[in-house]
A and B are shown apart, each in its own frame.
Chain A
Amino acid sequence: MQKIATVVTVVVGLLVAGIAPASANVRPVKGDTGAGISVSVTSVSGGSGGGSGGRPCTYQRANVPGDPSTELAVTPDMAPNPGTQEGAWYFYECQDPRAPLGVRSGAIFVPAGAPAVPPAVLAQEASRFLAAPAPGIQLNPPAGADHLVNLESWLWVDASTWGRRSATASVPNESASVVATPVSVTWIMGDGSRVVCRGPGTPYDPNRSPDSQHTDCSHTYRRSSASQPGERYTVSATSTWALTWTATGLVVASGTLPPLLRTSTTTLRVAEAQTVN
């Protein structure tokens, strides 16, 4: 018997028939609903950290005539709307280290002319894999050195924890890419002050003269940390990542998701200037 290999690596858009704009139909995603959705973490810019944890899937059309290896018994209870939808069943196998045998397998119904999974749900699934890191806190004076009252402390975050990340979730005939863009860092300085920086901040270069350098992201302490626990201020930095998504395939759509917040903390000592030689 002739066997027809029909393993379909999902390259979304290949099977596009009649691209039509659509409004996003956002439905809440509960639990582990990602079965059968392929996810790749696709890009990192401006840093070395980032992309990991994708879940590539392969799909194979079921019940291909003449190929018993694709046989799938279908009952009306299996279809979303029994008897009312044209479409095809696919076996899927998704790589997932948490799953038995490292593979999560199942069957997915792909209706004709409509995505198997709504674009907004794909986008939400993709966002789960975004490797948006917590900010790497950098300060001047540097870690271990005292900050001084009335002297500007520079604040910035590691370049590796800044820069766009994206992830793409796919099912046959539809794909949604989510881009996470860091937009700001909110610093809670521990003395009651809050500093919002519209960017990663400027690294201080100890090899250049202080007068030749400038930053828009800084804080000047007015009181020492002597009265604080451990005589140190606790400083937190929260980066805000804006999420936008675009879907292509049978449905073209776009939208936004709630921003991601990532927080790091550290402590620092602020000394009175006159106590330092």
Chain B
Amino acid sequence: MLQDGRGRRPWRAAPVVMGVVLALTACSGDRGAEQAAVPATTTSATTTTTAEPATTSTAATDAREAAVLASYRAFWDDMIAVGATTNWRSPRMDDHATGNALAQAQATYRLLHRRGLVARGTVKVRPEVLSIRGDKATVYDCNSTSNFLAYDARTGELRDRSSGRSDGMTVTLLRRNGTWKVADSTTEVGKCRRSPP
């Protein structure tokens, strides 16, 4: 499914938490159905970055890219941290998210919360900056949320299956009050332009 993330209307929003969401249930095309044995206490993101050095970049560009990538990773850290309770009203939700991505993330965690579910596990990201123009940046990430799974909040029972899959995600970040925030995304489910992390 190719999400059109360019639309500005909320109903066209391409959820950036889609990767999270998609990992929460098994989808057709899943390879295997291994149950991820992730300790309940593991709520930190594994950010495996293998970004290649950009030989033509200036130091200033490097710094800007580093800021964008740091915010992108922080976004996932936020999502994983909030997933432990799925409290969509957490002040952490909008620390590194805005726009459609924030709306979608809130709606997703609210749905999980209403169903008595929490999300635990790890997300592997490997982002690279595609462009930075003014207050808008575009990041491509071949990420894996297949070990970020839904559990029953009360019993701890796994209510999910790992997809074992990596998704290609083109993410738009906007700089708001000096902080880069994930605003929108286009997800290519199960497709990465690079080898999976």
Residues of A within 8 A of B (CB): 30-33, 35-37, 68-69, 71-75, 77-80, 89, 91-93, 98-103, 105-109, 116-117, 171
Contacts and interface: CB of A to CB of B under 8 A. Distances in A.
19 contacts: A30-B4, A31-B4, A32-B2, A32-B4, A36-B11, A73-B94, A75-B176, A77-B100, A80-B10, A89-B10, A100-B22, A100-B23, A100-B24, A100-B25, A101-B112, A105-B110, A106-B107, A107-B10, A107-B103
Interface string B78-112: 00000000001100011000111011101110111
B99 A75 contact: yes
B10 A77 contact: no
A39 to B, nearest CB: 13
B183 A35 contact: no
Contacts of A77: 98-100, 102, 174, 176, 183
Interface in B1-60: 1-4, 7-13, 15, 21-25, 27
Nearest to A31: B4
B7 to A, nearest CB: 7
A116 B11 contact: yes
A101 B25 CA distance: 6
A213 to B, nearest CB: 49
Contacts of B3: 31-32
A33 B7 contact: yes
Contact of B99 (A32, A35, A78): A78
A73 B109 CA distance: 13
Contacts of A69: 114
Nearest to B6: A30
A32 B188 CA distance: 12
Contacts of A105: 107-108, 110-111
B107 A101 contact: no
A73 B24 CA distance: 23
Interface residues of B, number: 40
A69 B106 CA distance: 11
B13 A106 contact: yes
B194 interface: no
Contacts of B154: none
Contact of A91 (B22, B27, B107, B183): B107
Contacts of A109: 9-10
A62 to B, nearest CB: 9
Given A31-B3, A71-B89, A77-B98, A101 B115 contact: yes
Contacts of A75: 94, 98-99, 102, 176
A101 B24 contact: yes
Contacts of B103: 72, 74, 78, 89, 106-107
B2 A106 contact: no
Nearest to A109: B10
Given A36-B11, A75-B102, A93-B111, 13 more contacts: A30-B4, A33-B4, A72-B106, A72-B107, A77-B100, A89-B103, A100-B23, A100-B25, A101-B24, A103-B111, A105-B110, A107-B104, A117-B11
Contact of A73 (B8, B93, B108, B111): B93
B10 A36 contact: yes
Given A75-B94, A100-B22, A101-B111, A33 B102 contact: no
B11 A35 contact: yes
Contacts of A31: 1-4
A32 B89 contact: no
Contact of B89 (A33, A68, A100, A108): A68
Interface string B51-71: 000000000000000000000
B11 A78 contact: no
Nearest to A100: B25
B98 A78 contact: yes
Nearest to B5: A31
B98 to A, nearest CB: 4
